[in-house]
Amino acid sequence: MNAKQIEKLLKNVKSGDTSVNDAVEKLRHLPFEDLGFANVDHHRQIRCGFPEVIYCPGKTTEQIVQIFERLAARKHNVLATRAAPEVFEAIVKTGKFPKVRYEKDAKAIVLEQEKTKKPKGFIAIVTAGTADVPVAAEAKVTAEIMGNTVEYICDVGVAGIHRLLKHTENLQKANVIVVVAGMEGALASVVGGLVDCPVIAVPTSVGYGASFGGVAALLTMLNSCASGVSVVNIDNGFAAGYIASLINRTKSR
């Protein structure tokens, strides 16, 4: 339930169209609903502008399905990240969500139930290589379900810098850019030196032994000589997409 829905509910109580008991029942699970194994934060939509997101690893399929159902019951858009295909299949088998879909590259389950006001402008998501696509796809799905227009540019790493320069004009029109790169992670600094908008760097665990599972890219990005670059955790496409969405929304205001 979002702020507009609460306002409508209160007006219906005032007009007599909704009884006090019915209103209490609808508000019973604000700000959160205790499922025993999880406290589902229904109030987050009001506080933050987007509902709670389900992080699937570490949870059983049954737990994920229950959380998904409770979020969906409030007519929220629902996003479940790092979800295995069998979790998606279990949600489909409930028969309750005909519009639910599985984003294979991002390993994300998406249910869109309400229209989100689109901010002006767009977010650019750039990958250094094709191997970085799963992390970039997670950022893309996150940004899109939060209502953003996304321009996706793939495989333009520094090993062939001319591939990136082809897109310079378009990158300079973005409100915020997410750069996803493994190996040495140099792409974020290069992009940061070409544009006047915030750049969110996402190090990935792509690379050979001395990349240390993404630590080499992380350190390169943290030590970027381009001042407009900030960094999220290794492989955390979700955080990059979420932060980019907040920046884009703020800039649109």
* pTM as predicted: 0.83
| Residue 181 φ/ψ, nearest 5 degrees | -155, 140
What are the pLDDT digits (tens) for 189-237?
A: 999 999 999 999 999 999 999 999 999 999 999 999 888 999 999 999 9
The answer to whether 42 touches 33, Cβ cutoff 8 Å, is: yes
For the chain, strand residue ranges (E) read 32-34, 39-41, 54-55, 78-81, 101-103, 108-111, 122-127, 149-153, 176-181, 199-203, 229-231
Query: 179 pairs with which residues across the strands?
Result: 126, 201
For residue 198, cis peptide bond before it (omega within 30 degrees of 0): no
| Residue 134 DSSP SS3 | helix
Quickly state the pLDDT bin for 4 (edges 50, 70, 90).
low
Quickly state the pLDDT bin for 6 (edges 50, 70, 90).
confident
For 62-183, strand residue ranges (E) read 78-81, 101-103, 108-111, 122-127, 149-153, 176-181
The CATH topology of domain 122-252 is Rossmann fold (3.40.50)
**Which pLDDT value is given to residue 3?**
62
Domain ranges of the chain: 31-111, 122-252
